[in-house]
Amino acid sequence: MRSEEEFREAHIPNAINISLEVLPNQINQLNKNYQYVTACVKGGGRSADGAKLLADYGFKAKWLYGGTLGWLNINPN
C-alpha cells in the first residue's frame, strides 16, 4: 500500500508492492488462496484501506499495525 519511493527506502523482506491507487486494477494478479497482510509506513491508514478493499473482493486480508517501520523496528522520528 506504499508508494514506489517509500518501498525503495525500506520494505519487509519478500514483500510485494502494489500501491492503494492501483490495487483495484491489479487485483486479478493476486491469489485468493493466500492470506494478505497489508502495510504502509506507520500502519493504519492506507494499509487498513487496502485490507478492506481486498476483503471486499473476497480476499483474506489483514493490515499490519505499526506498519513497515514497526516491523523493521525503525523509529520514524
Structural domains counted in the chain:
1
| Residue 66 covered by a domain | yes
What pTM value is reported for the model? 0.84
Write the pLDDT tens digit of every residue in 3-57.
888 888 888 999 999 999 999 999 999 999 999 999 988 877 899 999 999 999 9
| Residue 52 covered by a domain | yes
| Residue 46 covered by a domain | yes
Q: What is the pLDDT of residue 38?
A: 94
| Residue 64 covered by a domain | yes
Domain that holds residue 19: 4-71
* CATH number assigned to the domain comprising residue 42: 3.40.250.10
| Residue 77 covered by a domain | no
Q: What is the pLDDT of residue 33?
A: 97
The pLDDT-based confidence of 76 (bands split at 50, 70, 90) is low
| Residue 76 covered by a domain | no
| Residue 19 covered by a domain | yes
Cβ atoms of 47 and 40 within 8 Å: the answer is yes
Q: CA separation (Å) from 3 to 8, 20, 41, 69, 74?
A: 9, 8, 10, 14, 18
